[in-house]
Chains A and B, each alone.
Chain A
Amino acid sequence: MNNLIWLIPVLPLAGFVINGLGRNALSKNLIGAIGSLLVLVSFGISVAAFFQIKSSGVPINVTLFDWISVGNFKIPFSFLVDQLSSIMLLIITGVGFLIHLYSIGYMHDDKGFGKFFAYLNLFVFFMLLLVMGSNYVIMFIGWEGVGLCSYLLIGFWYTNPSYADAAKKAFVMNRIGDLGFLLGIFLLVNTFGSVAYAEIFPKASAAVSAGAPIVLITLLLFVGAVGKSAQLPLFTWLPDAMAGPTPVSALIHAATMVTAGIYMIARSNILFTLAPDTMEVIAIVGLATAAFAALIALTQTDIKKVLAYSTVSQLGYMFLGLGVGAYTGAFFHVLTHAFFKALLFLGAGSVIHAMGGEQDMRKMGGLKGNIKVTFITMLVGTIAIAGIPPFSGFFSKDEILAAAFAHSTTFYVVGVITAGLTSFYMFRMMYLTFWGKFRGTHEQEHHLHESPANMTIPLIVLAILSAIGGMIGVPAVMGGHHELGAYLAPVFEQSTKLLGEHELSRNTEWILMGTSVLIAIVAMGYAYSKYVSKAHVPVADQEERPALANLSYHKFYIDELYDKVIRKPLDALSVFFYKVVELSGIDGFVNGLGKSSIEASKGLRLLQTGNVGFYIFMMVVGIIAILVYSLVRI
């Protein structure tokens, strides 16, 4: 088994090379088959690795070669597949395969088909590198690589300038976070003299008592996570990232890449546990993001934008979980979120496909009869994300909320309200899309059709996973074992020891669950009365809205704020540097040198009289001068 591990990332890389080089030569079917099957094989190996670790409990450690070796400082190119990364592997290759399969149908008429599959494979490769690396440097390679692929795929339809801008925005905002991550790694090297997990983590507690700058390190790492996982204040790139093809939104911007920040913190959980201040910051940022993004999602009319803000919000939940020390809960939510958010995005893609490219929910409605499979699977996903039992989202979200309650009641209250908002905007999306009368054009109504099988099969599989995925983490109070928790326990062992178990009585837990379910159902009912019974349709862009709704619809003007506070001053500064420093300063200096030498030569030129006598005279004077000089010097 261990000598097959390297194949997991290499197979998608091979897919990238084959599809990248043969994108124009190979047929679409072949490209699709290569792209998907290679990921499927990786998935098979990942499953085998998972079962091996599950039975033996021993992480797989493979060193491929020595990569950087400077004096005593060595960075081997090695993989570590333990409990945490094995689950990530399953998500990436499993969900990744389904999304590849779906893309064969979704991208079928696109002329960039081969390019698209090459990029998707490359993304899977980097994502696998990110989770499999046994040290921070390899994680960083993957981290940057997925950023690159995200950029390439958001701007996939690069001839549209606003899509290209969205890609740039994502790239630049991620760079801000990556700078933090990189500085964090440097500081880790400085403090521990190593980048390998296996060397840093055991040393951590001793180093902290010796005064290591652990809070600074963890804060810097967290900055990286904020960028990649679209948290406040660096979240605005994620909704714009919806410019990319829908399978990209599902794979990269919902299921895998954006959870890289969560994975990184879960991986470094010991460091974070040792820095309670950072934990508090993480919890607050996560909670604020969850609530803030949920508020924006309430009024969005673009079906993918709703899902995008919902993703930001759910990521906020995960950070809340990490911040209050519920590492297992946060990771559980990563897992379930990967299922239902990928499902919802693919479902949205199927709706868009049926509507002939329409993304505005105001022009949809009444689709439930026409595209049944999409409707049912999306309904499953919506119930799962709304946190209604027994679907998966309920268990993971509830675990986070319970941990938040044990930490601070305020956190819990805000979290539960956000859960209510989540339920409201998700069902609002469902009702607007699938209930009521059709509000589109005639051609669209004729065009309505269910997607082909290779698009609906992934939906069905993901729907099943979304429905039952929560069963791996049934809490003890409901008579379950929380198998995920038991499986992950070795990874979080040290942190759990330091943090201690939070004790909630059985009654409290039941009350907490009841409350969140009740709120979710009430929100769902309110959405039903508003959007189905009263058949309310969000108003057109130019019409007046109530002040608060307006604020939410315009995303609290955050983009405009960034524009005013950051972009405009930067522009002004650049203009200043260009006009004043560059044009008159540097150019003036360089051109001045040229001009002055031209002027000087104009004067010196007059010495060339052509008078031979004069020349000879000057020569003699020169010789005498040299003689005098050498005499004096001697």
Chain B
Amino acid sequence: MESLTNTIQAVPLNHYILLSTIIFSIGVMGVLLRRNAIVIFMSVELMLNSVNLLLTAFSVYRGDAAGQVFVFFIMALAAAEVAVGLAIIVMIYRNTNSIDINVLNRLKW
């Protein structure tokens, strides 16, 4: 355990932040630009993971376990969300033969 902490701390905190920011931005861009619902889902996971990464990094640096606990929460939440979300997407595909979100614009006035 000691060595792992040291390994993580060997990289400066700024790098973690930078990496997380990049991954998060990629996720946001994915969500905003892609049209495939599953890809959007994956992009959301990217964003979540970037946050997780940041939380663990901070947790280690501050020697505070709270951040890691939150990571577990987020993982559990993401898993549940994916389960529900995928089911919805499957149903949408069955009904419309498409998961292109730009085609799915029935929910309007």
Assess whether A613 is interfacial by the CB under 8 Å rule.
yes
* Cross-chain contact of A612 among B28, B104, B109 (Cβ < 8 A): B104
Per the 8 Å Cβ criterion, residues 587-610 of A in contact with B are 605-606, 608-610
Per the 8 Å Cβ criterion, residues 575-633 of A in contact with B are 605-606, 608-613, 616-617, 620
Assess whether B14 is interfacial by the CB under 8 Å rule.
no
| Secondary structure dominating the interface of A | helix
Per the 8 Å Cβ criterion, residues 8-48 of B in contact with A are 28, 31-32, 35, 40
Contact A611 B105, beta carbon cutoff 8 Å:
yes
Contact B107 A610, beta carbon cutoff 8 Å:
yes
Write out the residue numbers on chain B whose beta carbons fall within 8 Å of the beta carbon of A606: 109
Contact A605 B32, beta carbon cutoff 8 Å:
no
Interface centre among A605, A606, A616 (most CB of B within 10 A): A616
Write out the residue numbers on chain B whose beta carbons fall within 8 Å of the beta carbon of A611: 101-102, 105
Query: Which residue of chain A has its CB nearest to the CB of B108?
Result: A610
Write out the residue numbers on chain A whose beta carbons fall within 8 Å of the beta carbon of B102: 611-613
Distance between B88 CB and nearest chain A CB, rounded to angstroms: 12
Query: Which residue of chain A has its CB nearest to the CB of B31?
Result: A616
Distance between B44 CB and nearest chain A CB, rounded to angstroms: 10
How far, in angstroms, from A620 to B40 measured CA to CA in the complex? 14
How far, in angstroms, from A617 to B109 measured CA to CA in the complex? 19
Query: Which residue of chain A has its CB nearest to the CB of B40?
Result: A616
Distance between A543 CB and nearest chain B CB, rounded to angstroms: 79
Per the 8 Å Cβ criterion, residues 35-77 of B in contact with A are 35, 40
- 10 closest residue pairs by CB, A with B: A610-B108, A610-B105, A612-B101, A610-B107, A608-B108, A611-B105, A605-B109, A608-B109, A609-B108, A617-B32
| Secondary structure dominating the interface of B | loop
How far, in angstroms, from A606 to B32 measured CA to CA in the complex? 21
Assess whether B94 is interfacial by the CB under 8 Å rule.
no
Distance between A618 CB and nearest chain B CB, rounded to angstroms: 11
**CB 8 Å contact bits of A371-396 with B (1 = contact, 0 = none):** 00000000000000000000000000
Contact B32 A612, beta carbon cutoff 8 Å:
no
Distance between B60 CB and nearest chain A CB, rounded to angstroms: 25
Query: Which residue of chain B has its CB nearest to the CB of A617?
Result: B32
How far, in angstroms, from A610 to B109 measured CA to CA in the complex? 8
Report, as a range, how many residues of chain B touch the other chain. Answer: 10 to 19
How far, in angstroms, from A609 to B101 measured CA to CA in the complex? 12
Distance between A624 CB and nearest chain B CB, rounded to angstroms: 10
Query: Which residue of chain B has its CB nearest to the CB of A606?
Result: B109
A-B contact pairs, 17 of them (CB 8 A): A605-B109, A608-B107, A608-B109, A609-B105, A609-B108, A610-B104, A610-B106, A610-B107, A610-B108, A611-B105, A612-B104, A613-B32, A616-B31, A616-B32, A616-B40, A620-B28, A620-B31
Q: Beyond the given A609-B108, A610-B106, A620-B31, please list 13 additional residue pairs across the A-B interface where CB-CB is below 8 A.
A: A605-B109, A608-B107, A610-B104, A610-B105, A610-B107, A610-B108, A611-B101, A611-B102, A613-B32, A613-B102, A616-B32, A620-B28, A620-B32
Report, as a range, how many residues of chain A touch the other chain. Answer: 10 to 19
How far, in angstroms, from A606 to B109 measured CA to CA in the complex? 8
**CB 8 Å contact bits of A298-316 with B (1 = contact, 0 = none):** 0000000000000000000
Write out the residue numbers on chain B whose beta carbons fall within 8 Å of the beta carbon of A612: 101-102, 104-105
Distance between A296 CB and nearest chain B CB, rounded to angstroms: 76
Contact B35 A613, beta carbon cutoff 8 Å:
yes
Distance between A252 CB and nearest chain B CB, rounded to angstroms: 70
Contact A613 B28, beta carbon cutoff 8 Å:
no
How far, in angstroms, from A398 to B101 measured CA to CA in the complex? 108
How far, in angstroms, from A608 to B108 measured CA to CA in the complex? 5
Write out the residue numbers on chain B whose beta carbons fall within 8 Å of the beta carbon of A608: 107-109
Per the 8 Å Cβ criterion, residues 71-109 of B in contact with A are 101-102, 104-109
How far, in angstroms, from A609 to B106 measured CA to CA in the complex? 9
Distance between A79 CB and nearest chain B CB, rounded to angstroms: 75
Distance between A614 CB and nearest chain B CB, rounded to angstroms: 9
How far, in angstroms, from A605 to B31 measured CA to CA in the complex? 24
How far, in angstroms, from A612 to B35 measured CA to CA in the complex? 9
Write out the residue numbers on chain A whose beta carbons fall within 8 Å of the beta carbon of B32: 613, 616-617, 620
Distance between B99 CB and nearest chain A CB, rounded to angstroms: 11
Query: Which residue of chain B has its CB nearest to the CB of A624?
Result: B28
How far, in angstroms, from A611 to B102 measured CA to CA in the complex? 6
How far, in angstroms, from A612 to B104 measured CA to CA in the complex? 7
Query: Which residue of chain A has its CB nearest to the CB of B35?
Result: A613
Write out the residue numbers on chain A whose beta carbons fall within 8 Å of the beta carbon of B40: 616
Write out the residue numbers on chain A whose beta carbons fall within 8 Å of the beta carbon of B106: 610
How far, in angstroms, from A611 to B107 measured CA to CA in the complex? 8
Write out the residue numbers on chain B whose beta carbons fall within 8 Å of the beta carbon of A613: 32, 35, 101-102
Query: Which residue of chain B has its CB nearest to the CB of A616?
Result: B31
Query: Which residue of chain A has its CB nearest to the CB of B106?
Result: A610
Distance between B103 CB and nearest chain A CB, rounded to angstroms: 10
Write out the residue numbers on chain A whose beta carbons fall within 8 Å of the beta carbon of B105: 609-612
Query: Which residue of chain A has its CB nearest to the CB of B37?
Result: A612
How far, in angstroms, from A428 to B67 measured CA to CA in the complex? 112
Write out the residue numbers on chain B whose beta carbons fall within 8 Å of the beta carbon of A605: 109
How far, in angstroms, from A617 to B33 measured CA to CA in the complex? 9
How far, in angstroms, from A194 to B95 measured CA to CA in the complex? 86
**CB 8 Å contact bits of A13-57 with B (1 = contact, 0 = none):** 000000000000000000000000000000000000000000000
How far, in angstroms, from A606 to B106 measured CA to CA in the complex? 14
Write out the residue numbers on chain A whose beta carbons fall within 8 Å of the beta carbon of B108: 608-610
Distance between A626 CB and nearest chain B CB, rounded to angstroms: 15
Query: Which residue of chain A has its CB nearest to the CB of B34?
Result: A613
